[in-house]
Chains A and B, each alone.
Chain A
Amino acid sequence: MSKLFSDENKAAFTNPLNLNNPITVQVLGICSALAVTSQLKPAIVMGLSVTVITAFSNVIISLLRKTIPNRIRIIVQLVVVAALVTIVSQLLKAYVYDVSVQLSVYVGLIITNCILMGRLEAFAMQNGPWPSFLDGIGNGLGYAAILVIVGFVRELFGFGTLWGYPVIPKFLYEAGYQNNGMMVMPAMSLIIVGCVIWAHRAYNKEEK
């Protein structure tokens, strides 16, 4: 048991949540972070999908790592990721159809998410299945956390709702308040991601 939660394994899980966050530090996966975060719900579903896919593709590649010929490793990794993406996409269609419609192509495009290939190449090819699993979960959640922050801000100011429920009181609208149309556009989410990165780096100034 102690070995399962050794310091190294813990680091594999916690690093990507903060100091090695895929979005704010490695600046990977920005594309989908801009596209799916106009509301909280799709942002969370997307974050969880990426977490699951990263974790399990990490485990599978880590199990196969000694048998994969080096020259064709990318295509093997892609096949594994593609299979997992298809499964997740079908599950979403079966159980949360409206969200999967909202996410549209971006579920399928998880294949091209740099975080996945990055983790497979950088971590799963060198480590055992258990650390790889933790690493995948950590990276996925680190990605999801930023998506939730951006989705929260955008839905609150862009639509005046959270998780679909109106939260901005009616009297504010009557007093002349208006939803911010720019929050709905992807351009604004890039600015918000930028602000998140700014805050994160200012907070962790001494670490680097």
Chain B
Amino acid sequence: MNPIKKLFDNIHPYVEEGGKFHAFRSLVDGFETFAFVPNTTSRVGSVNIHDAIDSKRIMSFVVIALLPALFFGMFNVGYQNALACGKLAEATFWGMFWYGFLAVLPKIIVSYVVGLGIEFVVAQWKNEEIQEGFLVSGIIIPMIVPVTCPLWMLAVAVAFSVILAKEIFGGTGMNIFNPALITRAFLFFSYPSCMTGDATVWVAQDTILGLGYKATDAFTAATPLGEAAQAGFTGFTPDTIQNAITGLIPGCIGETSVIAIALGGLLLLWTGVASWKTMLSVFVGGAATGYLMQVLGLTQIEWYEQLVLGGFAFGAVFMATDPVTSCRTECGKYVYGLLIGFIAVLVRVLNLGYPEGMMLAILLMNLFASLIDYCFVQSNINKRAKRAIIKK
């Protein structure tokens, strides 16, 4: 017998009704259903989806898809640290990776402990099954914050978004807004100096456990997008763009590398977890708007540069395609995606105060997703109603 299965079977009597550790029922339940597909698939009164795969397995795919970007982000944290200290020549690949690993790991732990802690408490309190939505949010959140973001801020922001953006609406599957983006928005508006501010936030500047290097003097490194916003968008050197595609630029931990994100995106599309319609139309919308802005002379940034800089690619692949907060009608997905791309580039170009428009664009469209769905469903109903009348 599988030892893990045996362990769970041994624990069970303690957490059943009347057992010694009944308070931890949801905790054990959560881990067990994560490790093994449960025998019972749905309870009375819950949402019933007829599929061989349950949401914990879908979430696992998304987490796997996020891993390339996460690992690259860890390497990039170390790389930027070495670059900033002028020690690039003597830094080794693994040295940089482990430095980044140690810098990012505490954020992942804080995000999971706080977020899952709240979810477990709520599930136990309401006597519900553990909801697994935070599995993905918990790993996305550390990837969309700067590496220097203090842990207590992250904890406050995660608690805020899990309670006020998710549990209030009824938990996983009911939320209007993407909880990971709410976390980022909370940090962005609450502690702006740690999220954009004086441009010292994007690169780790201290040694961790003897790894990495300490920046000697006051050192600043803005993201290419932030720099461009300050300089009035005068265009980029080909070098910057090449680095933006490979990902060797300062930025939020997981958002920099287009290649790593593309690997994850391919996995999502191949497994059918994410909708290619949403993903494609975000890029099309962003490119078209970028081109339009360029033609109108509002910006010097080439249209394809809009797509590789900042969080555009990460947002398009992992955030906009969130099945809960995006449109569900097939036509609606096009409209939803196009508008995200449009608004993201619009905010970037026209509002220099917010060089990163992707977060605001996706949150805004989260709000409109159900309206778009409603319009398409209604128009379909009307079309069919008309057909029925003619036949009569």
Contacts and interface: CB of A to CB of B under 8 A. Distances in A.
User: Are the chains A and B members of one assembly?
Assistant: yes
Interface stretch (A19-27, A70-78, A173-181): A173-181
B189 A182 contact: yes
A178 B189 contact: no
A182 B190 contact: yes
Interface residues of A, number: 10
A96 interface: no
Nearest to A195: B164
A181 B152 contact: no
Contacts of B191: 178, 180-181
Contacts, number: 20
Interface string A95-136: 000000000000000000000000000000000000000000
Contacts of B220: none
A63 interface: no
A191 interface: yes
Nearest to B151: A176
Nearest to B168: A198
Interface string A158-182: 0000000000000000001110111
Interface in B174-228: 186, 189-194
Among B150, B153, B164, B190, the one with the most A-chain Cβ atoms within 10 Å of its Cβ is B190
Contact of A191 (B153, B164, B192, B193): B164
A35 interface: no
User: Chain B interface residue count: which class?
Assistant: 10 to 19
Nearest to A185: B189
B164 A181 contact: no
A122 B152 CA distance: 49
A14 to B, nearest CB: 30
Contacts of B190: 180-183
Contacts of A180: 190-191
Interface of A: 176-178, 180-183, 185, 187, 191
Given A182-B190, A185-B189, 18 more contacts: A176-B150, A176-B152, A177-B152, A178-B153, A178-B191, A178-B193, A178-B194, A180-B190, A180-B191, A181-B189, A181-B190, A181-B191, A181-B192, A182-B186, A182-B189, A183-B190, A187-B189, A191-B164
9 contacts: A176-B150, A178-B153, A178-B191, A178-B193, A178-B194, A181-B191, A181-B192, A185-B189, A191-B164
